[in-house]
Structure 1
Amino acid sequence: MKASRVAGTLGLTAALVLTGTLPAFGAVSNPVSEKQVVTSTVEKPDSNPVMAKISKDAAIKLVKALVDIPVDFKLTNSRYEPTGWQTDNGSWNLNFERIVKERYSSINVAVDAETGKLISYYLNNNELDKKVTYPPKVDLLKAKEIANQLLLKMNPDVAASVVYNDSYDKLFRVPLQGQVRYSLRFDRSVNGVKYPADGISFEIDGDGQMVSYNYSWHVSRKFASAVPVIKQDQALDTYKVKNKPFLQYIVVTPPGGKSQIALSYSLLTNPLDAATGEMISPYYMFNPGSLKTITEKPLAAKPVAGKDITEDQAVAIAKKLVVIPAGAVLQNPGFTEYQDTASIDGTRATWEISWRVGKENDKDKVYYRAAVNAKTGELVSYSYDNQKLWQPLTTAEEKIRITDEKAQLAVEEFLKKVLPQYSNELAIVKPSISNSKFGMGSTSRTMYFDVRRIIGGISTEMDSVSVSIDLLKGTVVNYYSNISAYKYPTVPNKTIELAKAQDLLLAPYTLELQYYDDQINDRVYFDSNYKKDLAPAKLAYMLQASYYDNVYLDAETGNWRKRDTGEVTIPGKVVVTDIAEHPAQRELQLMVDYQALDVKDGKVNPEQVITRGEFIKMLVITLNGGNYYPYFSSERSNSYKDVKNDSALFGYVESAVDAGILDRSSEVLDPDGKMNREEMAQLIVRALGFDKLANQAGLFNLDTMDAGAVKLKGQAAIVLSLGIMSKSNGSYFMPANEVTRAEAAVAFFHFLEVRPTMQSSSLQNNYRY
């Protein structure tokens, strides 16, 4: 088992630290107190709060007029929220439910309590034996038409003030499943400039039904002038000056399952202020390598694995590093051990210790918990379990709480004590406003600090520490260390030039002028007066991606590599030059789009015979919805002698073995061997789950001229009768004929068409494309 826990790190997509705009259509409601909520489990007479212009009963009638609520869906819960995130007003939130034969379905809606506008709608229709077809009945083009019609019907008053967000179209690929949801979005436009924080979004399923809807619109919002100081033709040059790439150590896992460190170039996607030409830097967007470490030199030597630490030693270490009250009762310590490639010897062993203060049945009892690395003696975690810590500070307590600066100093001193060997590699991130806020302006009793590991000025992706401080006592109440034992270079290798890295990282992007709000993210949740003094939304240039691939930029070579395996790749939509006007162009392009077929020098070679390994890879990717690379740890033994765990095919082969598509009757697979029609039929029938049925003697009649030459008659009969494969020359199966890449792609497309009809019940996965 590989253990990886990320605390406060930023993910990489297209080698960029992605973030950016506000959640444009957030469905998360503001936290409210118990007194501010009205709930009911069944429809009751109107209980209209004084502050709501529209009553609950009126809201229910409005909802039923705006969207279809089937008669068998019953209202089970209603809630009034006086403050809103998606509009300026409070809202009625209604939940309708239906249970048929233990299948739960629901419809959740929200209505603006002042205007009657429908704010949100979510349908979870868990119908029994719902029929799914492939390809979906409704494609992207039709789904866009439906969304446009709904926009005009539901929001005629603002339809002229939105623009379609075509970023979805740029990233779209034809789905591999029939049960899909198309996510379509319209951004608010002000003075001809997008304001993505407001807008209208729809989700349309493969049958053309609206399954979700969100309306976000703040009439009170003010906007700066739509004329930027920094013009469009100056934006990119200004952006390059202000936003430089930075180096980062990341973890990749090549075929074989042994994770290793790679050096990458990354780039923040901060907006560029169109008035000042400066980068807008929210607290969550920063160059980790620019942080200052606690000390310049380590205060102790790094640990090495030696003799395992005993239980008594672990208890003594914990009591030395953290304060355990006198009289605390030691509970039975636990010991865990598991495989972890990020540990010194590939195994992570931990002593888990706890103490109880108070009697067992005492409702005010308190627990202190600690975990100690049984290999190195490092303190892994510590927590103080007291329910009072979850209560906000009183007005009197707020006046005596310690300052943020003193809280940070307490974190520094604690880390020097528990992790002295890393003191020169640990840097504290400045906490955000939300860190110590509970909601509606109240302050939490604790403040959370995110600590990053920096090695030689280069940030690490996975290694981090989290610490929470009691703001009254100045003591640590929660601590977790995720410091790995990966071998980082003492001196990084030579890297490509910074300018070249920047050009490569920016290649997938264009800069678009938008209205941007960097004030709302924290304050909307934590400051009840946030609307009163909001400055106008300002103009900013935002990076817009033409594609998103899970890749990173190799800082040493300048190659793009797959984020999961480290293999060299070409990001973006793959363009092939040898399938135009080919009879199987559609099917081949579908397989290429999901990287189920390899492309070399722009060619897919449709008439080339497909190998057994290539076919298995295509089958596994197709079965799993595309872009799928199965991961197995280095401890997984290979099922076949000729597909070892360092092979690029290893994950696909082992996944097929686990799924019962491949058996282990032979010690070799011969992945480079040519695929024939009979073997293809067998693997497809296994993927459908009909192999045992196919092997029943005399059950199937194979109506071909060469039936005598076919060993797997049941399998051949099934794929022919289902239309997955067709006869050759009208009457022959031709079991020994080799299969071309084009023929395999066509067979897989027909497999996708047939698979939904073979399901005994509706598919449970919804794929968004």
Structure 2
Amino acid sequence: MLNIGQRFVRWCLAVVLLATWFPAAAMAQEKPAVSLDQAIRIVKDNFAIPGEYTNFSSGFSSGLGADRDRQVWSLNWEAPAEPGAGFHAQVDAVTGEIRSISHWKPGKPGQPVPRVPAVSQEQAQKIAGEFLNRLAAKHIQELQPVPPQDQVIPLGNYGPVSYHFRWQRLVNGIPFPTDGVNMEISGEDGRLVSYNLEWTGADFPAARGTIPLEKAREAFDGAGMLELQYFQPFRRYPPEAGKKPEILLVYRLNHPSGGVIDAFTGRPLVPEDGRYLVEKSIPGGGGGEESFMRMNGGQPAVSVPLTPAEQQEIERTAKLITRDQAVEAVKKWVQVPDNLTLQGANLATDWQNPDTRIWNLNWSDEKDSDNQPRHMSARVDAFTGELVGFDLYYPGTDGKTGTMDRPAAQKIAEEFLKKIQPERFQSVKRDESRSAQPFMPGEKGKNPPFQYFNYWRLVNGIPFPGNGFNIRVDTVQGRVVGYNLNWSDRQFPSATGVLNAKQAGESFLKYRPLTLSYTRMYGPDGPGDIRLVYQPLATGWGVPTIDMVDARSGAGLDWEGKPVSQNPRAYQFNDIAGHFAEREISLLGRAGIFGEYGDAFHPDENITTISLLRAMLMVKFGAQGFSGLSDEEVLKRVREQGWLTESTQPGAPVDRLTLAKLLIRFLGLDRAARVEGIYQVPYADAGSLPAGSLGYAALTWGLGVIRGDGQAFVPDHQVTRAEAAAALVRTLEVKP
């Protein structure tokens, strides 16, 4: 999820682009219906622009193609004394509607970030509804609120809390998912942080004569939308030494239609070449590389014994080829242009495949020769000397029309692969999905300057998209200019006992049911016709849009290979009404914390050590990635944070003194708590507190985190889940 700062940066980039599109000639040719003066007044009639935002600028953009009637004013107010602070708006120059706003107020250096929102989700929803009625009044009848299911509200120190709301457009009672209103409300002060209205002015086909859902489902099953594949999950952290990443068997959505069925013909809707349907992006990620080097100062110090891991690494690296051998391995297959000279070489390891070592080589043109390649990079396996990839760029290719069509380019690509990888080429299949050829704007009917081809590895006859070849062919130069090999040594699970395609389809459609909806076709000439289709859509706002299911269990999986049911979600506990800690428990539930019992909390049950420690990690770092940690991993993480120094068992109860120690360490005040002779507490049992505990009792009392039973501290009192939740939230309210 993008944070506010990231969204602001993207919005500003869009504003800059709009400003660069300000064509004086176009403005002179056709005067917009809404003038700049009117646009400014429209915004100021609806929003109070802070007085310190004294720098003002504007831009104007005019649509092209099917969107040529769209004209937009961009208005920007900024504060010269506060870099980054600004109020930005876009006003439709035809209708006078506010299309978007963004109000960003960066925190001052050293200023603490509020961690407990002052505005509740219910209050924010009411504010959002008021803005909707004011800014999108003419569209209210066609807008349907999308329930904010599982919207996790983080409490960590990453930035101010904000709430997100969405309303989806209905046309003829049928959803058009790309149109609607998105809104973001600050949990700090109820400010409208961002607002975006997407509204398409086009003709929508009537829903008469559409096939029933059952027929669409038959078409979905019959088209083979889901393909049995091997899948290597993305990992946030590198695997442990000597441990290879796990390979899963999944059914994955892989069809040129993207799972979309034409609602009239009952056939998969496959876009023509150069055209595409708007889709939601699916979060994912890729591996990274960590460079390493060894230096020897030439002055050996006292001999230090080497660990087995260090000795093993030395033995492994002794087998690596040299830089010059790596260069020769590249030149064996690729002609390095004469004007390029080698500028850099380094050894690296893929963090998701720690057993590999790669030589990264870079050539460049020091003279910037005209009409000559400027840069080339290559990658060579440092153990085997195998060329695993290269990229070569010719100036002037972009924007030109290719001299060959896709079949001719494919022939060049496959001739190269047969030459460089004759055996492995026998074990791949060409990816024919829409993602195989990225959309490239250009004139319809003309060859693009580049053609891209993906070849997936086959294992036991099953595709493994994580392995294979990627090829880029320059259709102007008529040669391969990009190549990448990914072929790893892995253990692949057997395909016995997996679901059949129909069963996999049933599981998949539980997460993304086929929904009668409108979508729009796009192409080189811009937006095209609105189509009525059945398409697999997520069930609500904030619900993960899965792309695959486990081939045996049918569970929906995310890109880490984890069941989406294990992903953090917000909890609305059903057993805390009227409880003294209702506010604090509710806040933690909406942050995705304390979900051991689902939507029940069990407030009067004694809390266990592991439940409290897990909650502390999730408060500090966010729920993502911590809800599924094993007990052992939780204990390891909290010890690394310095919160836990005593030995304990995961299921052990927590007494009040232990709670005080944990929360004081959580606040970073442990050193202060251990100072002797400076603390007093108003507890009747102060004189009998265990040695070394007075500082913890005093600080938690003084900060308002723990107040005992009102009379005594009672250090061995068994803490309930509600008491722990209330104390944990109070630590977030401590003023630094």
TM-score class, shorter:
0.7 to 0.9
SS of 1:718's equivalent in the other structure is helix
1:210 alignment partner in structure 2:
192
- Which stretch has the larger CA shift, 686-695 or 559-568? 559-568
* Partners of 2:406 and 2:83 in 1: CA distance: 50
2:282 alignment partner in structure 1:
none
Residue 147, structure 1, aligned to residue 128, structure 2: yes
* Partners of 2:379 and 2:143 in 1: CA distance: 54
Q: Alpha carbons of 1:127 and 1:476: their partners in 2 closer, same or farther (altered >3 Å)? A: same
Residue 695, structure 1, aligned to residue 680, structure 2: no
Q: Alpha carbons of 1:33 and 1:506: their partners in 2 closer, same or farther (altered >3 Å)? A: closer
- Which stretch has the larger CA shift, 492-501 or 467-476? 492-501
TM-score by length of 2: 0.78
Q: How many residue pairs were aligned?
A: 667
Residue 733, structure 1, aligned to residue 729, structure 2: no
SS of 1:544's equivalent in the other structure is coil
Find the partner of 1:474 among 478, 487, 509: 478
Residue 114, structure 1, aligned to residue 67, structure 2: no
Find the partner of 2:166 among 150, 170, 185: 185
* Partners of 2:137 and 2:409 in 1: CA distance: 52
Residue 488 of structure 1 and its aligned partner are, at CA, apart by: 2.6
Find the partner of 1:374 among 371, 382, 386: 382
SS of 2:137's equivalent in the other structure is coil
Residue 280, structure 1, aligned to residue 269, structure 2: yes
Residue 702 of structure 1 and its aligned partner are, at CA, apart by: 1.8
SS of 1:148's equivalent in the other structure is helix
Q: Which letter does structure 1 place at the counterpart of 2:119?
A: V
Within a 5 Å distance, the mapping from 1:44-123 to structure 2 comes to: 48-53=27-32, 54-75=34-55, 77-83=57-63, 88-100=69-81, 103-123=83-103
Q: Alpha carbons of 1:137 and 1:311: their partners in 2 closer, same or farther (altered >3 Å)? A: closer
1:336 alignment partner in structure 2:
347
Q: Alpha carbons of 1:661 and 1:385: their partners in 2 closer, same or farther (altered >3 Å)? A: farther
Q: Which letter does structure 2 place at the counterpart of 1:263?
A: L
* Partners of 2:489 and 2:278 in 1: CA distance: 27
Q: Alpha carbons of 1:240 and 1:509: their partners in 2 closer, same or farther (altered >3 Å)? A: same
Check the 8 A contact 1:48/1:56 in 2, yes or no. no
Residue 165, structure 1, aligned to residue 146, structure 2: yes
Check the 8 A contact 2:585/2:725 in 1, yes or no. yes
* Partners of 1:438 and 1:561 in 2: CA distance: 33
* Partners of 2:644 and 2:261 in 1: CA distance: 53
1:37 alignment partner in structure 2:
22
SS of 1:743's equivalent in the other structure is helix
SS of 2:232's equivalent in the other structure is strand
Within a 5 Å distance, the mapping from 1:592-671 to structure 2 comes to: 596-597=593-594, 599=596, 607-629=604-626, 648-663=630-645, 670-671=649-650
Residue 29 of structure 1 and its aligned partner are, at CA, apart by: 6.1
* Partners of 2:27 and 2:174 in 1: CA distance: 39
* Partners of 1:267 and 1:329 in 2: CA distance: 43
Within a 5 Å distance, the mapping from 1:260-275 to structure 2 comes to: 260-267=246-253, 270-275=259-264
Q: Alpha carbons of 1:602 and 1:75: their partners in 2 closer, same or farther (altered >3 Å)? A: closer
TM-score by length of 1: 0.75
Within a 5 Å distance, the mapping from 1:227-246 to structure 2 comes to: 227-232=208-213, 235-236=216-217, 239-242=220-223, 245-246=226-227
Q: Which letter does structure 2 place at the counterpart of 1:352?
A: N
1:308 alignment partner in structure 2:
320
Kindly provide the CA deviation profile for residues 23-45 of structure 1, in whole angstroms up to 9, marking residues without a partner as x. xx999969989984359xxxxxx
1:301 alignment partner in structure 2:
none
* Partners of 2:79 and 2:16 in 1: CA distance: 27
Q: Alpha carbons of 1:550 and 1:242: their partners in 2 closer, same or farther (altered >3 Å)? A: closer
Check the 8 A contact 1:578/1:605 in 2, yes or no. no
Residue 509 of structure 1 and its aligned partner are, at CA, apart by: 4.3
Within a 5 Å distance, the mapping from 1:130-529 to structure 2 comes to: 135-166=116-147, 168=148, 170-173=149-152, 176=155, 179-206=160-187, 207-219=189-201, 221-232=202-213, 235-236=216-217, 239-242=220-223, 245-252=226-233, 257=240, 258=243, 259-267=245-253, 270-281=259-270, 307-325=319-337, 327-328=338-339, 330-331=341-342, 333-338=344-349, 340-342=351-353, 346-357=354-365, 359=367, 366-389=374-397, 391-393=398-400, 398=401, 401-423=403-425, 424-429=427-432, 435=438, 437-438=440-441, 445-460=449-464, 462-463=466-467, 465-489=469-493, 491-517=494-520, 519-520=521-522, 523=523, 526-527=524-525
Q: Which letter does structure 1 place at the counterpart of 2:414?
A: E
- Which stretch has the larger CA shift, 733-742 or 355-364? 355-364
* Identity rate, percent: 25
* Partners of 2:374 and 2:31 in 1: CA distance: 43
Q: Which letter does structure 1 place at the counterpart of 2:409?
A: A
Q: Which has the higher contact order (CA 8 A, sep 6+)?
A: 1
* Partners of 2:12 and 2:168 in 1: CA distance: 16
Q: Alpha carbons of 1:516 and 1:742: their partners in 2 closer, same or farther (altered >3 Å)? A: same
Q: Which letter does structure 2 place at the counterpart of 1:95?
A: N
1:290 alignment partner in structure 2:
none
- Which stretch has the larger CA shift, 306-315 or 196-205? 306-315
2:309 alignment partner in structure 1:
none
Q: Which letter does structure 2 place at the counterpart of 1:277?
A: G
- Which stretch has the larger CA shift, 46-55 or 414-423? 46-55
* Partners of 1:548 and 1:438 in 2: CA distance: 32
Q: Which segments of 5 or more consecutive residues in structure 1 lack a partner in the other structure?
A: 1-10, 12-24, 40-45, 287-303, 632-646, 759-769
Q: Which segments of 5 or more consecutive residues in structure 2 lack a partner in the other structure?
A: 2-9, 280-315
Residue 673 of structure 1 and its aligned partner are, at CA, apart by: 3.9
Check the 8 A contact 1:306/1:376 in 2, yes or no. no
2:537 alignment partner in structure 1:
543
SS of 1:540's equivalent in the other structure is strand
Residue 320 of structure 1 and its aligned partner are, at CA, apart by: 1.0
Q: Which letter does structure 2 place at the counterpart of 1:740?
A: T
* Partners of 1:165 and 1:87 in 2: CA distance: 30
Check the 8 A contact 1:358/1:364 in 2, yes or no. no
* Partners of 2:267 and 2:184 in 1: CA distance: 36
Check the 8 A contact 1:597/1:614 in 2, yes or no. yes
- Which stretch has the larger CA shift, 680-689 or 251-260? 251-260
Residue 734 of structure 1 and its aligned partner are, at CA, apart by: 1.7
Kindly provide the CA deviation profile for residues 710-737 of structure 1, in whole angstroms up to 9, marking residues without a partner as x. 4322222222333332312x31112223
Q: Which letter does structure 2 place at the counterpart of 1:540?
A: Y
* Partners of 1:597 and 1:254 in 2: CA distance: 23
Check the 8 A contact 1:436/1:443 in 2, yes or no. no
